[in-house]
Amino acid sequence: MPPVTPDADADAVVVGSGPGGATAADVLTAAGWDVVVLEKGPNRLLELEAPYALKGDLSNDEIKLWFRWFLGPDPLLEPRTYRRTEADGDHLLVGEVNNLPSGVGGGAIHADAKMPRFREDDFRPLSRWGPMEGAALADWPVGYDELEAYYAEAEVLVGVEGEVGANPYASWRSSPFPMPPGPDMYGAVVSAAAAERLGYHPYRAPTAINTVAYDGRPACTNCGFCGGYGCPIGAKGDPLGPLRRALGTGRCHLRPRSTVTEIVLDGTGRRARGVRYLDEAGVLHEVTARHVVLAGGAFETPRLLLRNGLANSSGLVGRNLTFHFQTFVAGGFPFRLHPHRGRVVTHLHDDLLVPTEADLSAARAAGLPWIRGGVVEHGAGPGPVMEALAYPPGPVHNQLMRESVARDRLWVFTMQGEDMPQPTNRVDLDPVVRDVHGLPAGRVTYQPHGHETFASAHWAPALESVLREAGATWTDVSTSPPPDPARAGPLGVAPVSRHVMGTCRMGVDPATSVVDPLGRFHDVENMVCADSSVFVTSTGYNPTLTIVALALRACRHLVGDPLPPTGPAGGLSPGAGPGSSRR
Amino acid sequence: MARPPFLTPREHAVVAAACDRLIPPEENSPGAAAAGAADYIDGLLGAFLVDPPRVWAGGPFSGRGGGEASFHRFLPLSPLEELAWRTRIEGSRGRPEREWNGPVVGLQERYREGLAALGDDFAGMAAEEQDRRLDGAGDFARLLYQHACEATYGAPEYGGNRDLAGWRAIDFPGDVLPRGWTDAEVRDP
Ligand SMILES: Cc1cc2nc3c(=O)[nH]c(=O)nc-3n(C[C@H](O)[C@H](O)[C@H](O)COP(=O)(O)OP(=O)(O)OC[C@H]3O[C@@H](n4cnc5c(N)ncnc54)[C@H](O)[C@@H]3O)c2cc1C
Ligand code: SF4
């Protein structure tokens, strides 16, 4: 091991600069704390000196972003491995597995930033819906009513646009969205109208994208290169806004290309003294701090803890890994939809998260006590290089490209299906594969529960009907992960959902959870988790607003400044309940 | 292109001819060769013949949608990024610092071997013979197709999509920032 170079002595050291880590840095520096943020990836986002201008390295370049790992992690330097079950041996796949970006800003700069809140029921799946065999279902130790104040603050801090009252299923809210919705994409105008005709309730997606100038950043100009790209003009607020604010206090010291390898405990073995990290040259540094905040994401946080053999008296670190079980329903249209104009996804519908009596009886007939689907995103397909690769080479290629059946005339519903927590689904350490630092690679062992495969198959035909109602002449259904790995499509065998959750679940009882209801590790008193590792269940919603809300809550409690509770009484638009029932 | 080539002239001709079978020229489509596929592939294989290497084009704007053009200013790589890309392109070549997970066969070697298997005389062969050889080329044909697609439909700064021929054939506008699209252009048919 190289010698250790002393670095800073801080109030808190934060591991990771994605939505969770950036939020922690924002809250803690605002309270006057001195914070060191260590980020293993590069900085493509913003200058680290005032006025924290955009670096200008992000661009609408499909080659750089989709084929050359510009936002990393490079699968040669940081391979991950995947297997479905132990029966697959050490691993089935090595290299690119669920590559959530690594760099300043984490996965969020790359996201298209749909930011829905969860609903009241999402926090109490066990008491609302009941147990499910083979699933480690539990209620969350925090409810919507308690989290609402933090949701409201999160929407202001990252800048979320949206429309109060548009989603009849939404839970109550204490304040309006800080920005009005942006323009609807033409494809979504078509698909949302069809969904409404069939009795569903599409609404304009709450999104962390500026629709007007906000927080010193410009309005989005609808460039079309959004999901999978960073915003070259800085119109996505998460986590650019929080990082700029934290840096602006002068108390946030952000160090890119700094890989935390070790959490150092003090003599008691119950408190962290700080962390050690490797810089790019391989020099090992130590930051001492009063508090340690882990926000490496739900894949890297358990990998770090397992390597350190820490915080795992429950044996649950890395377990109950959830993704969203993604069902992609594509529709081919006889007319062009220009999906390259706009923010990629502008509409959602929540109907499939609230099963009808017919859905429930179908589930029971299949031997399941209940099913829930997930939020349905109405969105654009791929860029032209990806499109081209979907077609065969040779004589048919040009005509397919000109007709653009798989891009300009394609519209896709993605259902982010709720994924049951299963202890056997987990992140652990690969016994053989190493990263460039010589550290064991993280390994995913994951297989969906019968719940999500049934729910996917149950609702896919309904989504196909909507696309046909919208005018599609053909539809096609695929899922990630695929039902049969031997017939995996271009998305591959491993789950591609970039929603990764559950690997340090929160709870009251240290025997059945890794962190307490405020994100503090049961086994390490002054260490907090601020990423989606703490999620108890996956729900069927995009996770990031909830990551930010929980990080706000954990860190505000850390500095002794929790938000006063809000209440439904004076709230806006409690979900009026869907008016019509769907066919 | 002001850069020493990696491919020999003969290899360059084989790459161009092979890519043209995968994305053939037609009345309204340029074909991969005319779109610059061989230059694109040569730019990748010879990325480290220039400094900064031709791996990541710059940002934030191409200049085609307003703003100052900056894609042509390629970005420098950090030491670890250079290690990764040299390993990917040149292969690990038995160097311990490139073999933390064992040997890596580089793109250069895959091309040299793949092109040799297609045959030095490939460019002069009849189309049927070219197709026959490509059908037998397995993984190498898939690699060529991926690169031909990147070249034809990716940003022109990498050496392909010459005169935007790839995008014009499919009526794709490419990068439109900072101008972007108006609300009406987003919403209306
Ligand atoms: C294309 C795409 C689209 C998406 N769309 C949406 C969406 O619409 N809505 C939504 O809610 N979510 C979306 N997501 C998911 C979203 O990006 C994640 O939920 C979010 O980024 C998770 O935040 P996090 O802070 O938990 O972790 P991350 O964003 O993963 O950040 C963790 C950071 O920690 C760093 N790190 C890890 N380990 C270490 C270590 N040992 N030392 C130092 N640094 C470390 C990592 O490099 C990383 O930068 C999308 C993701 C992608 C890729
Ligand atoms: S669509 Fe808007 S937010 Fe997304 S990258 Fe383009 S300008 Fe930025």
Q: Which atom of ligand 2 is nearest to the CA of A342?
A: 1
- Res. B2: pLDDT tops 80: no
User: Confidence band (pLDDT; 50, 70, 90) for A491?
Assistant: confident
Cβ contact A496:A326 at 8 Å? yes
Residue appearing with tokens 């670190």: A317
Pairwise CA distance, residues A437 & A439, whole Å: 6
Our measurement of the distance from residue A354's CA atom to the centroid of its chain's CA atoms, rounded to an integer in Å, reads: 21
Residue appearing with tokens 């090992």: A284
User: Confidence band (pLDDT; 50, 70, 90) for A488?
Assistant: confident
pLDDT more than 90, % of chain A: 92
Question: Could you tell me the sign of the dihedral formed by the alpha carbons of A200, A206, A211, A212, in that order?
Answer: positive
**Higher local confidence (pLDDT), A488 or A371:** A371
Exposure string over A27-65, b if 16+ CB within 10 A, otherwise e: bbbbbebbbbbbbbbbbbbbebeeebebbbbbbbbbbbb
Q: Please, what is the average pLDDT of chain A?
A: 95
Closest CA to A21 of A551, A503, A535: A551
Cβ contact A368:A451 at 8 Å? yes
User: Confidence band (pLDDT; 50, 70, 90) for A490?
Assistant: confident
**How many angstroms separate the alpha carbon of residue A235 from the centre of ligand 2?**
6
**How many angstroms separate the alpha carbon of residue A115 from the centre of ligand 2?**
15
pLDDT in tens, A550-569: 999 999 999 999 999 998 76
E strand or H helix at B134: helix B127-135
Range of the domain at A27: 1-73+101-161+233-317+500-565
- Res. A17: pLDDT tops 70: yes
pLDDT in tens, A60-103: 999 999 999 999 899 999 999 999 999 999 999 999 998 899 99
C-alpha neighbours within 13 Å on the C-beta side of residue A523: 18
Does residue A17 have its Cβ closer than 6 Å to ligand 1? yes
Range of the domain at B100: 9-187
Mean pLDDT of the region B75-89: 98
Residue B57 is nearest to which of A59, A185, A404, comparing CB atoms? A59
**Higher local confidence (pLDDT), A581 or A163:** A163
User: Confidence band (pLDDT; 50, 70, 90) for A583?
Assistant: very low
pLDDT in tens, A509-538: 999 999 999 999 999 999 999 999 999 999
pLDDT in tens, A27-56: 999 999 999 999 999 999 999 999 999 999
Looking at the 3D structure of chain B, how many domains does it have? 1
Q: Does B155 touch chain A (CB under 8 A)?
A: yes
Length of chain B measured in residues: 189
Q: Does residue A330 lie in a domain region?
A: no
Cβ contact A177:A160 at 8 Å? yes
Length of chain A measured in residues: 583
Q: Does B55 touch chain A (CB under 8 A)?
A: yes
Closest CA to A83 of A94, A75, A73, A74: A94
User: Confidence band (pLDDT; 50, 70, 90) for B124?
Assistant: very high
Q: Which residues pair with A10 in a beta bridge?
A: A289
Sort B177 into a burial class: Cβ within 10 Å, 0-12 / 13-18 / 19+. buried
Mean pLDDT of the region A258-278: 97
Q: Which residues pair with A377 in a beta bridge?
A: A348, A414
Q: Does residue B175 lie in a domain region?
A: yes
Rounded to the nearest 10 degrees, how much is the dihedral formed by the CA atoms of B11, B12, B15, B19? -170
Question: Could you tell me the sign of the dihedral formed by the alpha carbons of B152, B156, B158, B159, in that order?
Answer: positive
Task: Determine the straight-line distance between the first and last CA of chain A, rounded to whole angstroms.
Answer: 65
Residue A289: both structure tokens together: 């701090």
**Higher local confidence (pLDDT), A384 or A485:** A384
Provide the whole-model pTM. Answer: 0.97
Interchain CB distance below 8 Å, B175 and A184:
no
Mean pLDDT of the region B93-117: 97
Nearest C-alpha in A relative to B104: A76
User: Confidence band (pLDDT; 50, 70, 90) for A571?
Assistant: low
- Asked if the peptide bond before residue A239 counts as cis, ω within 30 degrees of 0, the response is yes
Residue A467: both structure tokens together: 């696309």
User: For position A108, which CATH number holds?
Assistant: 3.50.50.60
Closest CA to A479 of A454, A501, A503: A454
Beta strands A410-417 and A325-332, pairing class: antiparallel
**For residue A557, which amino acid is it?**
H
Does residue A376 have its Cβ closer than 6 Å to ligand 2? no
Mean pLDDT of the region A491-502: 93
Residue appearing with tokens 């109907």: A351
Which ipTM value was assigned to this complex?
0.98
pLDDT in tens, B23-45: 999 998 999 999 999 999 999 99
Residue B149: both structure tokens together: 């697609």
Q: Which residues pair with A391 in a beta bridge?
A: none
pLDDT in tens, A404-429: 999 999 999 999 999 999 999 999 99
- pLDDT value at position A486? 80
Tell me how crowded residue A535 is: count the other CB atoms within 10 A of its CB.
26
Mean pLDDT of the region B3-7: 88
pLDDT in tens, A337-388: 999 999 999 999 999 999 999 999 999 999 999 999 999 999 999 999 999 9
Q: Which of residues 224-253 of A touch B (CB under 8 A)?
A: 224-225, 232-233
3-state secondary structure of A422: coil
Interchain CB distance below 8 Å, B145 and A393:
yes
Residue A247: both structure tokens together: 């840096």
**How many angstroms separate the alpha carbon of residue A251 from the centre of ligand 2?**
30
Pairwise CA distance, residues A433 & A90, whole Å: 10
Residue A335, φ and ψ in degrees, nearest 5 = -130, 165
The DSSP secondary structure of A240-260, one letter per residue, reads HHHHHHHHHTT-EEEESS-EE
Does residue A20 have its Cβ closer than 6 Å to ligand 1? yes
Closest CA to A391 of A414, A410, A377, A378: A410
Q: Please name which ligand lies nearest the alpha carbon of A220.
A: 2
Q: Does A63 touch chain B (CB under 8 A)?
A: yes
pLDDT in tens, A270-316: 999 999 999 999 999 999 999 999 999 999 999 999 999 999 999 99
Q: Which atom of ligand 2 is nearest to the CA of A221?
A: 7
Residue appearing with tokens 């789950």: A495
Mean pLDDT of the region A323-349: 97
Pairwise CA distance, residues A120 & A498, whole Å: 24
Residue A240, φ and ψ in degrees, nearest 5 = -60, -45
Q: Does residue B2 lie in a domain region?
A: no
User: Confidence band (pLDDT; 50, 70, 90) for A579?
Assistant: very low
Does residue A78 have its Cβ closer than 6 Å to ligand 1? no
Looking at the 3D structure of chain A, how many domains does it have? 1
User: What DSSP designation does A3 have?
Assistant: P
Residue appearing with tokens 């079309």: A224
pLDDT more than 70, % of chain A: 97
C-alpha neighbours within 13 Å on the C-beta side of residue B66: 9
pLDDT in tens, B152-162: 999 999 999 99
Q: Does residue B60 lie in a domain region?
A: yes
Pairwise CA distance, residues A294 & A274, whole Å: 11
Rounded to the nearest 10 degrees, how much is the dihedral formed by the CA atoms of A267, A272, A274, A276? 90
Residue A367, φ and ψ in degrees, nearest 5 = 85, 15
Residue appearing with tokens 């400044």: A561
Residue appearing with tokens 């980020």: A39
Our measurement of the distance from residue A206's CA atom to the centroid of its chain's CA atoms, rounded to an integer in Å, reads: 15
Q: Does residue A410 lie in a domain region?
A: no
Q: Does residue B122 lie in a domain region?
A: yes
Exposure string over A474-496, b if 16+ CB within 10 A, otherwise e: ebbebbbbbeeeeeeeeebbbbb
Tell me the angle at which helices B37-45 and B9-22 cross, rounded to the nearest 10 degrees. Answer: 130
Pairwise CA distance, residues A438 & B149, whole Å: 35
* Distance set, CA A191 to CA A111, A281, A406, A457, B138 (Å): 22, 52, 17, 20, 40
Closest CA to A16 of A295, A278, A293: A295
Q: Which residues pair with B63 in a beta bridge?
A: B66
- pLDDT value at position A1? 65
**How many angstroms separate the alpha carbon of residue A551 from the centre of ligand 1?**
14
